[in-house]
Amino acid sequence: MNITFLGTSSGVPSLTRNVSSLALKLSQSSEVWLFDCGEGTQHQIMKSNIKSSQIKKIFITHMHGDHIYGLPGLLATLGLSGNSEGIQIYGPSGLRSFINSALKSSFCKLSFPLNFVEVENFASENKILFENNKIKVNCACLKHKIPAYGYRVSEKDKPGIFDIKKAKSLKIAPGPIYSELQQGKKVVLADGRTFDGKEFCGPPRKGESFVYCTDTVFSESAVSLSKNADLLVHESTFSEEDESMAYEKLHSTTIMAAKTALLSNTKKLIITHLSPRYTNKNAITPSDLLKEAQKVFPNTELAKDFLTAEIK
């Protein structure tokens, strides 16, 4: 799996950063899942390597405009293109009425179905939000001025590496039989020979995990959600120097984001959702924010628009 940042600014766009949105490309399918959809997201998609026709799920963290104002426009464009077969939208309970109202008021009729999933109960009861045979999604309540939710996407363990040389040495013909053996199944060949797939595979490979937390001040639930994750993307709106403002507005500082990564034993942290007050022309720059976080959690990177990062 990999992620592409489509917007990394907090509150309002800047000349170099759009407001919040992130695309996740799944490794085991051609699907793209979108996390938040601030104003201008569809323009950002057009400038990136993301194909909007591959978007199948959209996860919204909360109802502030810099995270949702781009959603009606994106859905309308997907409707005009005729490429979408349907989209599942996960988010707070008010999201359905916001989207339906915007589409109705603008006389927009979509050519595909929308399936809304309200996440409140899943978060409060620690229930799995989505699951199939390859992946599962969990969510958790964050601490912001309005209800906000973090999301975790976890791949299930994958089969071990298949020993093709061994299979060929035993004169097992390539084809669907290899897939069955890789899945650990017992197979019977046409010549009557029987093989156990477990004899041809290495140990299972651990699936990758990705966590997205914004907007929030430091939260124990974010730590729990991020336990042992491969990659944590966490908001870092304020510098350490502006900690009092962070508590006032219920956003995170660089130190709070790094502390979340440290306590959760995350492998890698990328900080995003930076306040526009921090530019290369100001006293505190984005590079300074990165250095602050790295003091607490060295394996930290700084997000920028169109940055693509592998989960592992």
The residues that are catalytic are 66
- Per DSSP, what are the bridge partners of residue 162? 201
The Cβ of residue 139 has, within 10 Å, a number of other Cβ atoms equal to 26
Using a CB cutoff of 8 Å and minimum separation of 24, what contacts does 240-244 make? 240/292, 241/284
Residue 37: strand, helix, or coil: strand
Q: How far is Cα 238 from Cα 253, in angstroms, rounded to an integer?
A: 4
Residue 191: CB atoms within 10 Å: 6
Report which secondary-structure segment, H or E, holds 289.
Answer: helix 286-296
Strands (E), the chain: 2-7, 21-25, 32-37, 55-59, 87-91, 114-118, 130-131, 135-141, 149-155, 186-188, 194-196, 209-213, 231-235, 268-272, 300-302, 308-310
Distance spanning both ends of the chain, measured CA to CA: 8
For 77, half-sphere exposure in the C-beta direction (CA atoms, 13 angstrom radius) is: 15
Q: Which long-range CB contacts under 8 A does 223-227 form with residues at least 24 apart?
A: 223/260, 223/263, 223/264, 224/140, 224/264, 225/138, 225/139, 225/140, 225/150, 225/152, 225/264, 226/152, 226/260, 226/261, 226/264, 226/266, 227/264, 227/265
